[in-house]
Amino acid sequence: MLPIGATSLDWASVDVAVPRPSLRLPGISMAGFRQQAPVPTDIAMVAHPSVTLLLDLSEDDGLVHDGPGWHGSGSVVVGLLPGELRTGGRVGECLQIRLEPAVAAAMLGVSTELSGTVVELEDVWGRDAGRAEDRLRSAGSWDERFTIAVDLLHRRPGSRPPVDPEIAHSWRRTLTSQGRVRVDGLAHEVGWSRKRLSARFRSQLGITPKRAARLVRFDHAAHLLAAGHPVAGVAAESGYVDQSHLHREVKAFAGLTPAAVAVAPWLAIDDVAWPATTRPGGRGSAHGGPPERP
């Protein structure tokens, strides 16, 4: 368990737990959060390239979530490009599971439908969602919870076939290049036309390859900003034309300025919960695709 101290917003300490290496799955990452005291302000989620399961394991009213078309307490599934999703304000525990879109499409039967939305867990997981939450909530430790989560994910029947190998390759290349890959180049690599790649990519992952590259590049830049790198250097390293270009992209994806993203609480604990070796596109990140069944 890794304690995280107060941020610039002076929010209460949060304990962060991460699974041991033997419990890590390809294209999936997990972290557990225990909020020990109410947070004085809501925490805005910063967009990142994955479909996210926020499993509220609190015993009481739990954590509050507020997103596009939805408001309430409980477990939710957040699609790509979540917009104004906000969490926080109460004491509670939460298990967060991030799935690369190709994994979400094959395992949950969703990806396209979730782009830009927030839905209740039951709408995606089905009628067993409540029992899954109860198992996780009653576990005696985070290690046990991670083990249960892996078991639950392995048992997902998968209502759709895996995405096309060409789409999986294109997504992986987008991640490993940190969003600095051209659609024409991806199309050439997989032997498709640009038009076919764009159409299949969007139909299977819910986002165009060009927008996916922008999202991944923004995610890389956001983490550099949170690490304290100067805006000009981040713009250059992330492949933006200039600082104004970076400013526009940060505004588009986060609704914030680069300076505000640099101190965003959601990112303040990101490198603890999602180290670079497991974060999408990070060095050593596992390849996409659903986990193999035991």
Q: Residue 182 has what pLDDT? A: 95
Q: Per residue in 240-282, pLDDT tens?
A: 999 999 999 999 888 889 999 998 877 777 777 877 656 665 5
Share the mean pLDDT of the chain. Answer: 80
Q: How far apart are CA 88 and CA 83, in angstroms?
A: 16
Rg over CA atoms, the chain? 18
Q: Residue 175 has what pLDDT? A: 93
The CATH 2.60.120.10 portion of the chain extends over: 2-154
Q: Per residue in 162-180, pLDDT tens?
A: 889 999 999 999 999 999 9
Which residues, at least 6 apart from 288, have a Cβ–Cβ distance to it below 8 Å? 26, 27, 100, 102, 103, 168, 171, 172
Q: Residue 146 has what pLDDT? A: 96
Q: Which of 44, 43, 16, 20 lies closest to 32 in space, CA to CA?
A: 16
Q: What H or E segment, with its residue span, contains residue 219? A: helix 209-226
Q: Residue 291 has what pLDDT? A: 36
Q: Residue 288 has what pLDDT? A: 37
Q: Residue 114 has what pLDDT? A: 63
Distance of CA 226 to the CA centre of its chain: 16
Q: Residue 286 has what pLDDT? A: 36
Q: Is 61 within 8 Å of 73 (Cβ atoms)?
A: yes
Q: Residue 84 has what pLDDT? A: 55
Q: Is the pLDDT of residue 18 over 50?
A: yes
Band (pLDDT 50/70/90 cuts) for residue 287 is very low
Higher-pLDDT residue of 212, 8: 212
Q: What is the dihedral of CA 183, 258, 54, 23, to 10 degrees?
A: 70
The CATH 1.10.10.60 portion of the chain extends over: 167-273
Paired with 16 in beta bridges are 2, 33
Q: Is 80 within 8 Å of 99 (Cβ atoms)?
A: no
Q: Is 31 within 8 Å of 96 (Cβ atoms)?
A: yes
The domain defined by 2-154 folds into Jelly Rolls (2.60.120)
Q: How far apart are CA 101 and CA 211, in angstroms?
A: 13
Q: Residue 214 has what pLDDT? A: 94
Q: Residue 81 has what pLDDT? A: 66
Q: Residue 45 has what pLDDT? A: 73
Q: Residue 235 has what pLDDT? A: 97
Q: Residue 239 has what pLDDT? A: 94
Higher-pLDDT residue of 213, 54: 213
Higher-pLDDT residue of 285, 142: 142
Q: Per residue in 70-95, pLDDT tens?
A: 566 677 777 776 555 566 556 678 89
Q: How far apart are CA 278 and CA 185, in angstroms?
A: 26
| Helix/strand/coil for 118 | strand
Start-end of H helices in 38-190: 101-107, 121-125, 129-138, 142-154, 165-176, 183-190
Q: Which residue spans within the chain are E strands per DSSP?
A: 2-4, 14-17, 28-35, 43-44, 51-56, 64-67, 70-73, 76-78, 86-88, 92-99, 118-120
Q: Tokens in use for 130?
A: 């409540």
Q: Is the pLDDT of residue 48 over 90?
A: no
Q: How far apart are CA 186 and CA 191, in angstroms?
A: 8
Q: Residue 3 has what pLDDT? A: 37
Q: Is the pLDDT of residue 43 over 70?
A: no
Q: Tokens in use for 100?
A: 């690369």
Kindly report the CATH number that applies to the domain delimited by 167-273.
1.10.10.60
